[in-house]
Structure 1
């Protein structure tokens, strides 16, 4: 009863007062349970540590798979400029709301999926609900899917000034297996830190090892790879049994 009353108050007021990485923000009231979890440090504290380590006032940040903005908003307080991509219409609506609630003007938020081509693709959530952070281009055949605009990486990179990007976060629910090959020439030339969430469980079991091995090869030019705990690991970590059955995250640097 108290929780429902609090949610009603937040919605009437128009925002939830919370913290991301210890920094106060006004946040959309419809995700107040999630925002409380973040504020308590129970949602990916290692992610905020990565943002702290690799962003600065003269550097830019590329967030591919921004969802409702828990990393975008925080990064906007640390970086010169933030590029945010979120194709799920429901998630993007809340992302834009959260940006506006905080008056952040150094964010370019685009409702598109970065891809290997410009066009239209279908995507749906593996969780069954639009905007739930599990929407994926790999789930195109789902009955409750929707069409989204895709933007060719090369076209975007040719038109945007990405010379100051120091950190790229990619969390695209399985689309990383196709997208990273397109990004490789730019990543290898510029060498920003790459914070990558992998989604092998969304692939057919027989394809997982080969696809994760291909990811490791694509990113083999990076000098160092860390896992979620901060431990230095080798490329073999991407094809270890738990990387094929879990949603692992890796940080590539150097």
Structure 2
């Protein structure tokens, strides 16, 4: 075999063996990201409705608040749709480190502000992160006020907004892996923000025996919004309640209620 063919075959083999998980592609942007098989899924069909959501609602003169960023997929999606700024909140220190690295390596910090707080019903408590709830998903961690895990300062979403002087935002994405019961007051506060669209993930599979109590509590805030599924079909509170008994997790789009 000639040297030229050998080199050609080597390059071909190298291309085949290099994992696609080190690059995330969205809207023509190519981001250098941490090595993780997740990014292979991201580049294919990961949460297509989430990608459509950000494409539809992101505005160049408006800010995004991303609560529960994990390692940053929705931060990258948001950035690729050209907002004014993104405020990215992640509690888990390991995920936050990866998020920070992904943003730094792609020079995103001109638009992205990183916030390492745990969303809770009260601010300035010390929350302990434990082991992953699912060994195959490092984005889901147990937490409590006691324990030997990482110690993280808690904040309400409202205080995150006020303390960081976040203004002129039109998107809030909330994905806090089962801790939705702690944000009822925040949802009530956000219902007063004009022209705001919220992408809210609910995780009834994490609520255990508290499921009925939690959805009843959440309903006091949800009823303040017009509620849509990801296909943007309007739904009522009873449909949301039904979802909690038939789905592992699901997303809602919340908009300020239109007064008839």
Same fold flag (TM > 0.5): yes
Q: Is the 8 A contact 1:23 1:74 kept in 2?
A: no
Q: Which of the numbers 239, 242, 254 marks the counterpart of 2:241?
A: 239
Per-residue deviation at 1:128?
3.9
1:24 and 2:24 aligned: no
Q: Is the 8 A contact 1:226 1:232 kept in 2?
A: yes
Per-residue deviation at 1:55?
0.9
Q: Rg bigger for which structure?
A: 2
1:135 and 2:138 aligned: no
Q: Deviations over 1:195-253 (max 9, x none)?
A: 00001111123x2123113212212121x222234332111122105556411111111
Q: Which of the numbers 174, 187, 194 marks the counterpart of 1:170?
A: 174
Per-residue deviation at 1:169?
0.5
Specify the alignment match of 2:217 in structure 1.
214
Q: Deviations over 1:50-98 (max 9, x none)?
A: 1111111000000000000001122123210000111111111110111
Q: Which of the numbers 96, 101, 104 marks the counterpart of 1:97?
A: 101
Closer, same or farther in 2 for the Cα pair 1:136/1:2, shift >3 Å? farther
1:87 and 2:87 aligned: no
Specify the alignment match of 1:199 in structure 2.
203
Specify the alignment match of 1:111 in structure 2.
116
Partner SS for 2:139:
coil
Take 1:114 and 1:4, find their aligned partners in 2: how far apart are those partners? 42
Q: Deviations over 1:131-189 (max 9, x none)?
A: 71112436x77x77332221244433333333311010000011121123234224324
TM-score scaled to structure 2, two decimals? Answer: 0.81
TM-score scaled to structure 1, two decimals? Answer: 0.83
* RMSD, aligned CA: 2.7
Q: How many residues align?
A: 240
Q: Which of the numbers 60, 74, 77 marks the counterpart of 2:77?
A: 74
Moved runs in structure 1, 4+ residues, more than 6 A? Answer: 1-4
Q: Is the 8 A contact 1:200 1:244 kept in 2?
A: no
Partner SS for 1:253:
strand
Q: Is the 8 A contact 1:120 1:149 kept in 2?
A: yes
Q: Which of the numbers 162, 185, 188 marks the counterpart of 1:181?
A: 185
